[in-house]
């Protein structure tokens, strides 16, 4: 497990709606959408970004919800990559909710 720096802890605390699981060194959140199409659109946009930055979420979709777990597997814990992905996901969710 990776020791999480104070800077990283502060970044995680600034994330809205994300839960920090210290034991498993990960963050997680459930996104809710109006319907399946919005949820799938969210996953598509995030998947394209994940490929660009080579950082992939662990996630599950059930109709209008997407449950996401973020951790950096190759270092065994939470990193700034996870915070950046969480911020991107929050932005995509906000854009989709605006419609």
Q: What is the pLDDT of residues 21-78, one digit of tens each?
A: 999 999 999 999 999 999 999 999 999 999 999 999 999 999 999 999 999 999 999 9
What is the model's pTM?
0.93
Confidence of residue 99 (pLDDT cuts 50, 70, 90): confident
The domain ranges of the chain are 6-97
Residue 44 has φ and ψ, to the nearest 5°, of: -65, -45
Rounded CA gap, 70 and 91, in Å? 16
**At the top level of CATH, which class does the domain 6-97 belong to?**
alpha beta
Going by their DSSP bridges, the two strands 65-70 and 58-62 should be labelled as antiparallel
Beta bridge partners of 68: 29, 59
The Cα–Cα gap between 77 and 45 comes to 24
Cross-strand bridge partners of residue 65: 32, 62
Summarize pLDDT for 16-34 with one digit per residue, the tens.
999 999 999 999 999 999 9
Please, what is the average pLDDT of the chain?
A: 95
Under 8 Å between Cβ of 21 and 79: no
């Amino acid at each position: 497990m990776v020791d999480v720096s104070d800077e990283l802890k502060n970044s995680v605390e600034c994330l809205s709606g994300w839960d920090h699981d210290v034991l498993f060194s990960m963050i997680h959140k459930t996104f809710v959408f109006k319907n399946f199409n919005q949820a799938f659109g969210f996953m598509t946009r995030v998947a394209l970004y994940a490929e660009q930055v080579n950082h992939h979420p662990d996630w599950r979709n059930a109709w209008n919800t997407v449950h996401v777990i973020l951790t950096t597997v190759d270092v065994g814990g939470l990193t700034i990559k996870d915070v950046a992905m969480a911020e991107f996901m929050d932005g995509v969710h906000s854009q989709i909710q605006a419609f």
